[in-house]
Structure 1
Amino acid sequence: MKKLDIPTLEIFVAAVEEKSLSKAAERENLVTSAVSKRMTELERHLGKAVLLRHGRGVDPTPAGILLYQRAKSLLRHVKLTEKAINEFTSDGVAKIRLLANPSTVLQFLPIEMKSFLAKSKNISIDLVESHSYDIPRLVADDQADLGIYHADYPASGILSYPYKKDRVGLVVPNGHPLSNATELFLEDALEYDLLGYFPRHSLGQFLDYVGKSISRPPIVKLQVSNFETRCRMIQEGLGLGIVPQNIAKNYLSQMGLVFINLRDTWAERQFYLCVNNDSKDTDAVQKLIKHLI
């Protein structure tokens, strides 16, 4: 071995952390003899003993401890470099992984993406829909560079910026007993069937979300996630539905529906933009953050 190389350092780090050449071999998908040979070549190259071999396994020597610390740092930088390179497409264009909840995708992102991509020719965006309660965790786990979610407060353990607000309201068919109301509390509509898939998605999470603002759970016989389909179901008299105002207005006239403002405090939603800690300083991600906020 003429010089240090990444695979050898990975094997050395595994040996130190596993305290065993055989376990290091298993971890690195090698045979033990190959690991032993690489460690011998490493020590010959350095001219120093870096592993103390004994009946129980191996331990690093003082020189080995220093090498382990430097190797860990180097391997982390290599990993971050690989991650940074992977954020480009095969054509060398910067790629941003963006998660957003359905309300954001429909209400805000079409215009935002059009204006951003028009001035950012060398950036591509991989946009994936996800649920608000999953997005901060997925971003923190490096499943995405950026995420947009709605919540009462910023998620813990990740950097979030205030993004936008919206309001949800109650959509009812024309001619419904409530259709002449301009605003009401959800409590006032509980005698009627309500289509499921609420803010927070499941009925249980929705009830936790609204707290004591309603006296009893709504009557739910049908769950509908897609906003357009939900409005079609409302049109057919299958129940009332909670829909974001900016989305509902696309269907009101064509489907003969009425939007009623909800006076409940939870009907106004705050959206947040969160960013992956390892991605936040890349140029492409910084440009999108500045554009969105």
Structure 2
Amino acid sequence: MDLISLEVLVAAIEEKSLSAAAERMHMVTSAASKRIAELERREATVLLRRHGRGVVPTPAGAMLYQRAKSILRQIAQARGALREYAASGVPHVRLAANASAIQQFLPSEIGAFSRREPAVRVDLTEAFSYDVPRLVADGDADVGIYHAAYPAPGVLSRPYRRDRVALVVPAGHPLEARGQLPLEDALEYDFLGYFPRHSLSEFLALAGNTLTRPIRVRAQVSNPGARCAMVREGLGLAIVPLGIARNYARLLGLSILTLTDEWATRQLWVCVRQPAQLPPEAALLWHFFLEHSGEADGASP
């Protein structure tokens, strides 16, 4: 018995029609009919009775239907279990995280986890914060890390880290001596865009009434390294996560100013769908993040 023929039998009995079963199986009706006929011939048993309105199972067909459902369910479970492994056969965990977490925290975190659990591979996918909980809820990621003011619905979230965004300016800029300031005090200068919450409109909603003037955006630059390089060339100021800004400030000779606005401090969350349903390797990563949450959080200037 081949799996496709069993799938056709199950579909025909559930749909009460060979044509409907063929449509469900994405094949022509004649091919579905041939599959059933060949199965009946090989087993020397009538499985379906045809009539003008469709098909009904014989007692033998009903028995095989129940066995086939069990077989197909076990095959699906086996395939699902295999998806927890990489092509090399090594167990892996699907981790989705936003760019800020990837660039500031996850290199050292994943390194420490890999030293603790050398047999487990972490497959890391970058996603926007608003997409990460959906990826986890839909089963496309085992563990997720995202920024948000509050935990996202549909997943179980725990605090992971707090970080800050800072203002990056060229060395010798008139604001450099301030050390710290609200963003409002820098609005007379041009900015290089890619703001917290990504789009300017969403950032302005986040900032609320802390800004009384529009922001002049000279260019939209998503890559923080490119953004900092353009700051060095005097093309504008930039808002950059502090942990990332420190790396480029040393490399490019930039100055970092602390933003005193409340929105400049951000909460990162680590989330899963259901801890009890995690594959063993994903559970190891989930508990690792919970153990290390809050360490070296990058929230201090």
Asked if these proteins are the same fold (TM beyond 0.5), I'd say yes
In structure 1, what is the equivalent of residue 149 of structure 2?
152
- SS of 1:82's partner is helix
Is 1:117 equivalent to 2:108 in the alignment?
Answer: no
Q: 2:211 aligns with which of 214, 231, 249?
A: 214
Q: Is the 8 A contact 2:275 2:283 kept in 1?
A: no
Q: Check the 8 A contact 2:154/2:273 in 1, yes or no.
A: no
CA 1:159–1:73: 2 relative to 1, 3 Å: farther
CA contact (8 A) 1:140 1:277 kept: no
- Work out the percentage of aligned pairs sharing the same amino acid: 53
Alignment check: 8 A CA contact 1:144 1:276 kept: no
Structure 1, residues 138-169: CA drift from partner, whole Å, max 9, x if none?
A: 23333322221111112212232221110111
Residue aligning to 2:92: 95
**Letter of the structure 1 residue corresponding to residue 83 of structure 2:** N
AA matched with 1:136: P
**Whole-Å separation in 1 of the counterparts to 2:275 and 2:27:** 30
Matching residue of 2:285 = 288
Partners of 1:162 and 1:64 in 2: CA distance: 54
> Which whole-Å deviations, capped at 9, do the CAs of 1:18-48 have from their partners, x for residues lacking one?
4431121133244424434555757x97x89
Equivalent residues, number: 289
Kindly report which structure 2 residues correspond to 1:270-289, keeping only aligned pairs within 5 A, or say none.
270-276=267-273, 280-289=277-286
Q: SS state of the match for residue 239, structure 1? A: coil
1:198 equivalent in structure 2: 195
Taking a change above 3 Å as real, the CA distance of residues 265 and 18 of structure 1, as seen in their structure-2 partners, is farther
1:105 aligned residue (98, 102, 106): 102
Residues 48, 184 of structure 1: alpha-carbon distance in 2 compared, 3 angstrom cutoff: farther
5+ residue gaps, structure 1, are none
Secondary structure at the counterpart of residue 188 of structure 1: helix
TM-score, normalised by the number of residues in structure 1 = 0.83
CA displacement at 1:174 relative to structure 2: 2.4
C-alpha displacement of 1:73 = 7.0
Task: Tell me the CA shift for residue 196 of structure 1.
Answer: 0.4
Q: Distance in 2 between matches of 1:189 and 1:64?
A: 77
1:263 correspondence with 2:245: no
* Letter of the 1:114 counterpart: G
Shift in Å at residue 108 of structure 1?
A: 0.6
1:234 deviates by 1.0
Alpha-carbon RMSD across the aligned residues, in angstroms, is 3.2
